[in-house]
Amino acid sequence: MKKIAVAMSGGIDSSITALLLQEEGYDIVGITLRIWDYLSEGCAEKETGCCSMESIFEAQDFCKTIGVPHYIVDVREKFKDIVVSDFIHEYMSARTPNPCVVCNPTIKWGTILEKADELGCTHLATGHYSQKAECNGRHYLTRAQDESKDQSYVLWQLSQEQIRRSLFPLGKYKKSEIKELAAQRGFVKLASKKESQEICFIPDDNYRTFLQKMVPDINTQIGKGNFVSVDGTVLGQHEGYPYYTIGQRKGLRIALGKPAYVLSINKEKNEITLGDKDEVFQESMIVTHVNYLKYEKLPENKPLYVKIRYNTKPALCFALKISDSRYEIFFKEKVSAVTPGQSAVFYEDKDVVAGALIMK
């Protein structure tokens, strides 16, 4: 019988993942990460969200209910050093990070697989809505059955070995089916539990406040700067470049008589260029730090689909290699708000071909 580690968050997806595998006859071990301490970091007055102690206890209680061992692994220091530091560094570098993409291979898979090895587990199962496949000796991700919940986008940095050892039991289900399954098994409270949508270590979803708490001198270090038009005309003042992202329209606090959008951010000048909606669209982008999944390289001059944000529709594109680590991606139709720091994930039908970081 295979012994499988299940990453448990206390939520419905990871809980039902453990239950489904147990019903299939696997030897299950629940592992929950202690990722972040809201109170000691001064980031919240009380703990909420998926990183809270309450969530850890819920995962622990669920494991007790279904009769499987549960372990808690404290990764707070590692999480802060890798994920939170990267999050802050990216905003301070005038880029917009995606912390889940950084966390998955280094913290979730990296740490839990270490614990899984210690416990004699062969695989790691998670509640992500994704699937995987193998072809010509390569392991890669494929989109989930529930397209609206698919999470293959945030998993692109997983290594071949991490994917090989992964199980995604929910990939073949609709979210509605998982809720129904939980209710049928008697876990009614779990089925109706509200899902967390914010960044796990920012429970109020206000990254500006978070940056101010983690970098106390951010406002004096950077200070206010100018909003400018494409031709360089000063339009007004902003609060500091780390507080803005490409394509942003709301929260600019500037009245121009028409909607304005962030087109670019200049760190050196602490300057933000604003423009009209049609100026946010680009014909191409540069990507780097490519992680190849389905193939050993990114196919050139072959139609692929790319997602540049989690909640965007994939866009048809073509790739042209610039160097060993850089590609220029050309869109068949212009794409809005290409954002440095975000991920570009390339698909061939439902298969993840590769992922990369957007440079510009």
- The predicted structure's pLDDT at residue 51: 64
- Per-residue pLDDT tens over the stretch 62-102: 999 999 999 999 999 999 999 999 999 999 999 999 999 99
The pLDDT of residue 52? 78
pLDDT score of 323: 83
In angstroms, rounded to a whole number, what is the distance separating the alpha carbons of residues 309 and 130?
16
Q: Does residue 144 have a pLDDT over 90? A: yes
Nearest-angstrom CA–CA distance, 340 and 285: 9
Output the pLDDT for position 229.
Answer: 96
Task: Report the half-sphere exposure of 266 (CA within 13 A, side-chain side).
Answer: 14
Mean pLDDT (whole number) for 27-49 = 74
Q: Which residues contact 215 (CB under 8 A, 6 or more apart)?
A: 88, 92, 221
- Residue 113 tokens, joined: 């697989």
- The per-residue pLDDT for 137 is 93
Instruction: List Cβ neighbours of 179 (8 Å cut-off, separation of 6 or more).
Output: 12, 191
Write down the pLDDT at residue 306.
97
Model confidence at 1: pLDDT above 90: no
> What is the CATH topology of the domain spanning 281-358?
Elongation Factor Tu (Ef-tu); domain 3 (2.40.30)
> Is 103 tagged catalytic?
yes
CATH H-level, domain 219-275: superfamily: Adenine nucleotide alpha hydrolases-like domains (2.30.30.280)
Determine contact, residues 147/90, Cβ cutoff 8 Å: no
Q: Are 338 and 327 in contact (CB under 8 A)?
A: no
Helix (H, G, I), strand (E, B) or coil at 123: strand
Percent of the chain with pLDDT over 70: 95
In this predicted structure, what is the pLDDT of residue 301? Answer: 76
pLDDT at 311 over 60: yes
Query: Which residues, in sequence order, are bridge partners of residue 282?
Result: 335
Structure tokens at 128: 């992500």
Q: What is the mean predicted confidence (pLDDT) over 133-158? A: 96
Q: What is the pLDDT of residue 39?
A: 57
Give residue 235's pLDDT.
97
- Neighbouring-strand partners of residue 28: 4
Write down the domain spans for the chain: 3-191, 219-275, 281-358
Per-residue confidence at 37, pLDDT binned at 50, 70, 90?
A: confident
Q: Which of 50, 100, 200, 317 is catalytic?
A: 200
**42-60 burial, b if ≥16 CB within 10 A, otherwise e?**
ebbeebebbbbeebbebbb
Do 3-191 and 219-275 share a fold? Answer: no
Task: Note the helical H segments in 45-156.
Answer: 53-66, 76-79, 85-92, 99-103, 109-118
Q: Which runs of E-coded beta strand occur in the chain?
A: 3-7, 27-34, 70-74, 123-125, 131-135, 138-142, 166-167, 225-228, 234-238, 261-266, 271-275, 281-292, 304-307, 315-321, 326-336, 343-348, 351-358
**Which pair of structure tokens corresponds to residue 229?**
């038009």
pLDDT at 42 over 90: no
CATH class, range 3-191: alpha beta
What mean pLDDT, rounded, does the chain reach?
A: 93
Q: Which of 43, 103, 121, 317 is catalytic?
A: 103
Amino acid sitting at position 355: G
Secondary-structure percent of the chain, ordered helix, strand, coil, rounded to 5: 30, 30, 40
Q: Confidence band (pLDDT; 50, 70, 90) for 194? A: confident
Q: Output the pTM of the full model.
A: 0.93
Question: Residue 145 has what pLDDT?
Answer: 95
- Checking if the pLDDT of 299 tops 90, the result is no
